[in-house]
Chain A
Amino acid sequence: DQQVKQNSPSLSVQEGRISILNCDYTNSMFDYFLWYKKYPAEGPTFLISISSIKDKNEDGRFTVFLNKSAKHLSLHIVPSQPGDSAVYFCAASVAVASQGNLIFGKGTKLSVKP
């Protein structure tokens, strides 16, 4: 039973446009959410996070939105660049109890076309 779901295995976007990656979760105890980016032959790289007490967090071109009532979060990349092409993983945790246990989705492969 997947607690974190990324229902789009892939997404293709034109350079300069907005990329929106979506993530749904089922465990209402999750209180901390993260996005990681992964290039081939490299480990995941931390991108941005959000606590459940917020509904938005922004860092440069990257913004994460959290809708707790819908158990949904999304990552917006504006403007998208070819170097953003990678697999993006959504992860969630129950911060106090987890002791390092991040629950990851299966990932969405983003392709940004020049």
Chain B
Amino acid sequence: ETGVTQSPTHLIKTRGQQVTLRCSSQSGHNTVSWYQQALGQGPQFIFQYYREEENGRGNFPPRFSGLQFPNYSSELNVNALELDDSALYLCASSPPDRGYGYTFGSGTRLTVV
């Protein structure tokens, strides 16, 4: 298994800007989820994509959006960044038969100043 790769590892953005975070999943992992982990908190579900369609969403505003591509890569886009968006963003993927055996990437640490 090649694992789940996220880029970049660290990022600093200014309030009001837009950011795109990327995730590369393992071949065959057609389910990808994105989580936000604020300091001292557990990961919080943003949304899930299955076969390039969003099929589940947590309590996040529409300025958080995503894309999933046929090559098992995906993106998380955040518009109009706010200071509270500063967090670790985690991508997790799973093959069809693994249920909740998600494989997480190491995350992207986003700092909004």
Q: Are B45 and A4 in contact (CB under 8 A)?
A: no
Contact with B along A37-48 (1 / 0, CB 8 A): 000011111100
Q: Are B43 and A44 in contact (CB under 8 A)?
A: yes
Contact with B along A1-34 (1 / 0, CB 8 A): 0001010000000000000000000000000101
Q: Which residue of the partner chain B has the closest CB to A102? A: B45
Q: Are A100 and B104 in contact (CB under 8 A)?
A: no
B 76-113 contacts with A by CB, 8 A: 90, 92, 100-107
Residues in B neighbouring A46, C-beta threshold 8 A: 100-103
Interface centre among A43, A46, A95, A98 (most CB of B within 10 A): A43
Q: Which residue of the partner chain A has the closest CB to B88? A: A43
Q: Are A89 and B42 in contact (CB under 8 A)?
A: yes
Residues in B neighbouring A41, C-beta threshold 8 A: 106
- Tell yes or no: A57 within 8 A of B by CB: no
Residues in A neighbouring B101, C-beta threshold 8 A: 46, 49
CA A39 – CA B55 in complex, angstroms? 30
CB distance from A94 to the nearest CB of B (A): 11
- Tell yes or no: A113 within 8 A of B by CB: no
Contact with B along A84-114 (1 / 0, CB 8 A): 0000010101010011111111110000000
Residues in B neighbouring A100, C-beta threshold 8 A: 31, 33, 45, 48, 55-56
Residues in A neighbouring B31, C-beta threshold 8 A: 100
CB distance from B70 to the nearest CB of A (A): 19
Q: Which residue of the partner chain B has the closest CB to A90? A: B42
Q: Which residue of the partner chain A has the closest CB to B92? A: A43
Q: Can you name 11 A-B residue pairings with CB atoms under 8 Å?
A: A32-B100, A42-B106, A43-B107, A44-B90, A89-B43, A93-B100, A99-B55, A100-B56, A101-B56, A101-B58, A102-B43
Which B positions have Cβ atoms within 8 angstroms of A? Answer: 4, 31, 33, 35, 40-45, 48, 50, 55-56, 58, 90, 92, 100-107
The 9 A-B pairs at the shortest CB distance, nearest first, are namely A99-B56, A104-B42, A43-B104, A100-B48, A100-B33, A101-B45, A44-B104, A100-B56, A43-B106
